[in-house]
Structure 1
Amino acid sequence: MERLQKVIAQAGVASRRKAEQMIQEGKVTVNGKKVTELGTKVGLNDDVRVEGVPLERERKVYFLFYKPRGVISAVTDDKGRKTVVDFFPHVEERIFPVGRLDYDTSGLLLLTNDGEFANLMTHPSNEMDKTYIVKTEGIVQRHLLKRISSGLKLEDGMTAPAKVKELGIDRKKNRSLLEVTIHEGRNRQVRRMFEAIGHPVQKLRRDRFAHLTLHGLNAGDYRELTAHEIKQLRTMAEAGSSR
């Protein structure tokens, strides 16, 4: 059982606040009866109608996707470029990406049709860890890595402390391979952090989201999350928000 306004919002009819307003205005019926109480809860078998139109309610789906480079983290693209949703032609539910990865960034991306879950995963206060494998131009000195790990100033403010691990140095090709874990979700954040210390990113892949990994997947592959994984993610997000 879920709150009526939440069900309406998840169906994509209106925002939760607008749904609450519609309920109070008597525009919603449940099993043929007008409902104006905001605390009303409904189940999957209840007939919910908004202004006389039956609510289309999808089952909730959750996918872990290995996004390739050169793909847009969006449902559609006005330039005709390939989007992450194009990799799910047989999924009937109206899924969308949870957050985004840049066009040139590959790696782990979640997709769902559950708006509340998506907000829980992306809200800054929940501090969900995201781990990236970073290949940089030039060999990054230790004192510069410490700047990233302690937080550095970007044009939109100071970054939170990050975890940085050196995976390798290629002196012949003059580049570093690093593992970086952040919990913020600013636009192009990892790339901008390395640009700020003078070592632009050559290649970037998100390897982990919270406890989830890309294990067993190739670029373009996906799998459904298990009920246990979904529960773990919710628990981690709620724990993060209480810190």
Structure 2
Amino acid sequence: MTDDLSPGTMLTAMRRETPLVHCITNFVAMNVAANVLLAAGASPAMIHAEAEAGEFAAIAGALTINIGTLSPVWLQGMHAAVDGARQAGRPWVLDPVAHHATAYRRKAALDLLGLSPNIVRGNASEIIALSGATGHGRGVDSRDTVTAAEDAARSIARMHGAVVAVTGAVDFVTDGERAYRVEGGSPFMPQVTALGCSLTCLVGAFAAAFPRNPLEATTAALAHFAVAGEKAARDAAGPGSFGWRFLDALAAVDGDALDAGSRVAAA
């Protein structure tokens, strides 16, 4: 990554802009995701009703869609929001949570994927299944390694013209041609509800600030999470104390600290 698109430089610019991020996320994640965005320096909005989702997506800096607690009414709102974002030229991010679990979820995720998200973020099992291959996921849990999902991520990226991020112990992000691995974080992170969902929203914040650089924006968001996770884990006794320390760390990490602490390598 170039100096002008380093994670730290992008974090500083994102905070300066304080982008409004339209988050359609699940009931479990709403509060956590809103706090994550506020701590990181963005402005969250949790709007899902079909009657206003399209209009609001057009004025937000980016849209993020998470299908965690899916219902027909919410799905209608998701489609309206995507239409509004696309018409306004706003980037949007798809998080296909546990889409492989049921036929209803599979169809919902594939229909949304067909609407050309700029970025897709998921765990390894979700990304493998989204590519049409068979993984070992169970519900929201990933039983596949990030390495095992790299080919699937590249395939989805090339087929749909999207940046695809696979998150896990070492994250992988690709646009189908270029790719990066991001190290860091903490083993406590999977033990805290909704951090993965919140990361999707943070990806939206960086994408809003850098809509023409979705690969670098996604990588910067992953790096911010990874560095904050390492910082929070140093004094945490377990997942409970890690959770609030993580919010503090997201806010405390500035651009210089992010560039100094991030471990991003071309893949």
Task: Return the TM-score normalized by structure 1.
Answer: 0.24
Q: Which has the higher helix share?
A: 2
TM-score, normalization by structure 2:
0.22
Rg comparison, structure with higher value: 1
Greater relative contact order (CA < 8 Å, ≥ 6 in sequence): 2
Q: Which has the higher strand share?
A: 1
